[in-house]
Amino acid sequence: MDTEFRNIALVGRQSDARVAEPMRVLADYLTKAGINVTAAEALALDLHVTHVPEEQLCDNANLVIAIGGDGTMLYASRLARISGTPILGVNRGRLGFLADITPDAMIASVDQVLAGRYLKDSRLLLKASLSTAAGDEVVQYGLNDVVVQRRGSGGMVDFSTSVAGRYVNTHSGDGLICATPTGSTAYALSCGGPIIEPQLDAVALVPICPHTLTDRPIVIPASQEIEILLLERDDSRAEITVDGGHIGTLGPGDRLKVAAASQRITLLHPPGHDFYGILRSKLFWGRDSRKRGIETS
CB 81 within 8 A of CB 125: yes
Q: Which of 227, 229, 177 is nearest to 203 (CA)?
A: 177
Question: Nearest CA to 159 among 145, 136, 175, 179?
Answer: 175
Instruction: Please state whether beta strands 36-40 and 50-52 pair in parallel, antiparallel, or not at all (unpaired).
Output: parallel
What is each CA distance from 51 to 38, 44, 55, in whole angstroms? Answer: 6, 10, 12
Distance, CA of 248 to CA of 139 (rounded, Å): 10
| Dist. CA 85–CA 82, nearest whole Å | 8
Sheet (strand 202-208) strand order: 218-221, 202-208, 175-179, 145-150, 238-242, 245-250
Nearest partner of 247 among 143, 156, 146, 163, judged by Cα = 146
Tally DSSP H helices, then E strands, for the chain: 5, 19
Nearest C-alpha neighbor of 53 from the set 68, 43, 67? 43
Active-site annotation, residues: 70
Find out whether 102 and 94 touch, Cβ atoms under 8 Å. no
CB 268 within 8 A of CB 118: yes
Cα distance from N-terminal residue to C-terminal residue, the chain: 41
The radius of gyration of the chain from alpha carbons, rounded to an integer in Å, stands at: 21
